[in-house]
Amino acid sequence: MNIESINLQAVFFYLGLGSLLLFCIKMFLFSSIGGDAEVFSDFDSIEDTDAAFGFISVSSILAFFSAFGWFGWVCTKSGKLSTPLILVFSFLVGLCFMFGYGYLMYCVKKLEQKTDKTYNSAVDKIGKAYTHFEPNGEGRVEVEVNGTLSIIDAVNTTDRRIESFAQIKVTKAEENKLFIEPLNND
């Protein structure tokens, strides 16, 4: 069978259309039902997956075939390139889309943060009262925890009232609460 005898335009069209439809169905199902393991993971693991894993995935392969098919279809429709050149250029464009999609997923995975649920890193930090605190009362404070500015429930450990936006110092952290005192001693 000669490659010239195959209706290359139809092959590229159906390859591009089929892979694009599969890609859209996959994205729709995983966004509505959930479970797209290529982007999100709801479990804690001791080992991180290899960064190259995102480059070879179902979605990146579908992106490759979609770009390969559509670019090949456009080139065969124009009729200005020979069949070997169309195959080479389509392959290169497909690879660009595949690695581009893989790189985007790698960037999305880098955005995920692993946060420690304990607030021990906030002890001895200076922050500010987000709400006012009655003596020995509860409220919320804004303080840096694990390198991120957070608003957290806190308990005033003194017999003094702390006004909103006053500076505070974290003295202790237990479970999901911080224990604070006013920074100035007036």
pLDDT at 40: 44
Query: Cα(148)–Cα(152) distance, rounded to whole angstroms?
Result: 12
* pLDDT of 10 strictly over 60: yes
Residues 176 and 119 sit within 8 Å (Cβ to Cβ): yes
Give the CATH class of 120-182: mainly beta
pLDDT at 2: 56
Express each pLDDT in 113-157 by its tens digit.
Answer: 555 556 888 889 999 998 999 999 999 999 988 878 888 899 999
Query: Cα(85)–Cα(81) distance, rounded to whole angstroms?
Result: 6
Residues 179 and 173 sit within 8 Å (Cβ to Cβ): yes
* pLDDT of 37 strictly over 70: no
Q: Are strands 138-145 and 126-129 parallel, antiparallel or unpaired?
A: antiparallel
- The mean per-residue pLDDT over the stretch 32-38 comes to 61
SS3 9: helix
Give me the count of residues in the chain.
Answer: 186
How many other β-carbons are positioned within 10 Å of the β-carbon of residue 127?
Answer: 23
pTM of the model: 0.52
Average pLDDT score over the chain: 81
Express each pLDDT in 69-119 by its tens digit.
Answer: 999 999 998 888 888 999 999 999 999 999 998 888 888 887 775 555 568
pLDDT at 114: 58
pLDDT at 28: 86
pLDDT at 72: 93
Region for residue 74 given its phi and psi (left: phi exceeds 0; alpha: psi -120 to 50; beta: otherwise):
alpha
How many other β-carbons are positioned within 10 Å of the β-carbon of residue 64?
Answer: 21
Residues 122 and 143 sit within 8 Å (Cβ to Cβ): yes
Burial zone of 89 (CB within 10 Å; 0-12 exposed, 13-18 middle, 19+ buried) = middle
* pLDDT of 44 strictly over 70: no
DSSP string of 126-177, one letter each residue: EEEESS-B-TT-EEEEEEEETTEEEEEEEEE-SSS-B-TT-EEEEEEEETTE
> Domain coordinates of the chain in residue numbers?
8-111, 120-182
